[in-house]
Chains A and B, each alone.
Chain A
């Protein structure tokens, strides 16, 4: 891997996003609006304290998954990927470049969403707010790497959208937002133990509810990060210089 080329690729991707101000605005503002709506719906109940943190983890994951898979799909279809693959650009330069660019966007998104949830919606965070942002960032990176991997199996934008119910929704359902994971049937529980999103939701809920859980949070994040690394490796296998 060549860090200079990964950075050049990240800068290029950010430049592309910059020319699409509407996407940037949606990316940065919509999560906060939805969190605000949630807080409003659950006024006078304790539900927001459970759902709020999970949302902070879900948004970066889902948004980055969609954006990444669609941008890389476009790159495959427009021929720019074919061209890049005939040039001295390594596969990891490409994948890491994308991860860096969208990771940076995710940090911005998370800063805004966390600030809004804490200061405007009154979400109480017992742990460190920085740890909360770190969790959101790792989630975004997970979404980015899953998107990079999934785009290899899609030939149209429609298929990419279908990957949402296929790859993302089960993880949300099994992630412990609707029913705590401890109360799930054993089979589902053990499946859920293997899914990355379960661990990021656990991590979020620990940061929010306890001030002494930093070690456990980092351990959960470690599992999510392992998944992200694994997906980048899988992604590099699906990225072919020669195609049929």
Chain B
């Protein structure tokens, strides 16, 4: 592939129902970094992610992924996508879920064991996904996205409902993937997770409020923790 950014978006507009969810959004996700997508509930994070993976009808604007228009067939093997609600088959075991999705994307068989290990689900491998806890089911969904060798991971709140130890492990996994050259876009509600990102995109009512490094965000707002920075920016924008 070429040297364009992982994701490049220009003047993106998305309507859902009667609502203008994304309004004239322009941004880029650089390669080989973990980019955090933050913003209040309803600000359009999931809609933006759906647009990037080609699942969302868009009204105007352009989205390219590795220089190719989003949703192009050539991209379907190179993007790993985790929807906000875990999208796995409840009536299949963890391994059976992974086996099916591995067949669909053409990932080699040993990959199934690798991703089970990466999300720490070995003890549950033979359990039905429907019998797992919420956090465990989330991790099955994440494991599916890690199958094969995706070059871009679009993860919609992958760490929701996980304890601090697991969260730390997963963020370490994300960092090691980025170090290997994988580009990640990770949405989150937890401001604390913002510290672990290389860059932060702050979305508010479908507009981009900030595109900064975590340190830059603190300097910009004069706040001393990400929570306060977030509050300062969002209340400034709402005023």
Is A79 a contact partner of B57 (Cβ separation < 8 A)? no
Name the interface size band of chain B: 20 to 34
Across the A-B interface, give the 6 residue pairs with the lowest CB-CB distance, nearest first: A79-B87, A8-B103, A12-B100, A88-B76, A79-B83, A16-B91
Interface code A96-122, partner B: CB below 8 Å = 1, 0 otherwise? 000000000000000000000000000
Closest partner residue, chain B, to A75 (CB atom)? B89
Stretch at the interface among A129-137, A143-151, A189-197, A236-244: A236-244
Does the CB pair A82–B96 fall under 8 Å? no
- Bound CA span A89–B100, Å: 11
Q: Which residues of A contact B86 (CB under 8 A)?
A: 79
B94 to chain A, nearest CB (A): 13
Check if B92 sits within 8 Å of A15, measured CB to CB. Answer: yes
CB-CB contacts below 8 Å: B43-59 with A: 50, 53-57
Within 8 Å by CB of B71, from A12, A79, A242, lies: A242
Neighbour of B92 across the interface among A9, A12, A243, CB < 8 A = A12
Contacts of A85 in B (CB 8 A): 55
Instruction: List A contacts of B83 (CB < 8 A).
Output: 79, 82-83
Interface membership of A78, Cβ < 8 A: yes
Determine whether the beta carbon of A5 is less than 8 Å from that of B104: yes
Contact between chains at A241 and B87 (CB < 8 Å): no
Q: Does A187 contact B (CB under 8 A)?
A: no
Q: Tell me which residues across on chain A come within 8 A of B54, comparing CB atoms.
A: 86, 241-242
Q: Which residues on B sit within 8 Å (CB–CB) of A82?
A: 50, 55, 83, 87
A90 to chain B, nearest CB (A): 9
Q: What 0/1 readout, one digit per residue, does chain A (21-63) give for beta carbons within 8 Å of chain B?
A: 0000000000000000000000000000000000000000000
- Check if B128 sits within 8 Å of A19, measured CB to CB: yes
B 122-165 contacts with A by CB, 8 A:
128, 144
- 14 A-B pairs within 8 Å (CB atoms) are namely A5-B104, A8-B100, A8-B103, A19-B128, A20-B91, A78-B85, A79-B87, A80-B88, A85-B55, A241-B54, A242-B54, A242-B56, A244-B16, A244-B17
Q: Is B230 an interface residue (CB 8 A)?
A: no
A182 within 8 A of B: no
B110 on the A face (CB < 8 A): no
Residues of B within 8 A of A83 (CB): 81, 83, 87, 101, 144
Q: Are A87 and B103 in contact (CB under 8 A)?
A: no
Q: Which residues of B contact A8 (CB under 8 A)?
A: 100, 103-104
User: Complex Cα distance A21/B235, Å?
Assistant: 55
Q: A12-B92, A88-B76 are in contact. Are A241 and B55 (CB under 8 A)?
A: yes
Given A15-B96, A78-B85, A80-B87, also A87-B57 (CB < 8 A):
no
Q: What's the minimum C-beta distance from B35 to chain A, rounded to whole angstroms? A: 19
The answer to whether A88 and B55 touch (CB under 8 A), given A19-B92, A80-B89, is: no
